[in-house]
Amino acid sequence: MGKILRLVLDVLKPHDPSIIALASELSDINGVDNVNISIYEMDRRVENAKITVEGNNVDYDQVLQVISDNGGTVHSIDEVVAGCEIIDDPETLQHRGN
């Protein structure tokens, strides 16, 4: 089966544990090389995070487990890259601004 190289997830999580702890724990997973977490929305109790996970062989189930253990829920899987190397989605005519 193909290897997943990058995952971009939309996650809702409580403030504690912090994204520092979460990022640290995610990067400890075998097959995960780099993690980026940024908060794009926040209220008194929860925050919305964009979690980008990159590696040579990312295991989604493990990523999900770590996020769950830290109280988070994946609201959507926004982007995935699989195969040999990371490619970005090319700009198409429909998406080019006027």
Partner 1 sequence: MTHLRRELRRLKQYHEMADTGEIVRRYFAMNSFDGILTILGVLVGSYLAEVRDPRVVITTGMTTSVSMAVSGLWGAYLTESAERQRSMDELENHTLSDLSDTHLARASRVAVVTVAVVDGMAPLLASLLVLLPFFFSSHFQDARNPYYIALAIAMLALFALGAFLGRISKQNLVVAGMRMIVAGVISLILGYLLEGAIHR
Binders of partner 1 in range 7-66 (CB under 8 A)? 12-14, 16-17, 21, 43, 45-46
Going 7 to 21 to 18 to 67, the CA torsion angle's sign is positive
Count of residues binding partner 1 (CB under 8 A)?
Answer: 15
Report if residue 83 touches partner 1, rule: CB under 8 A.
Answer: no
SS (H, E, C) 59-86: CHHHHHHHHHHCCCEEEEEEEEEECCCC
| Chain center to CA of 74 | 9
Nearer to partner 1, 42 or 80 (CB): 42
> Which residues contribute to the site for partner 1 (CB under 8 A)?
12-14, 16-17, 21, 43, 45-46, 68-73
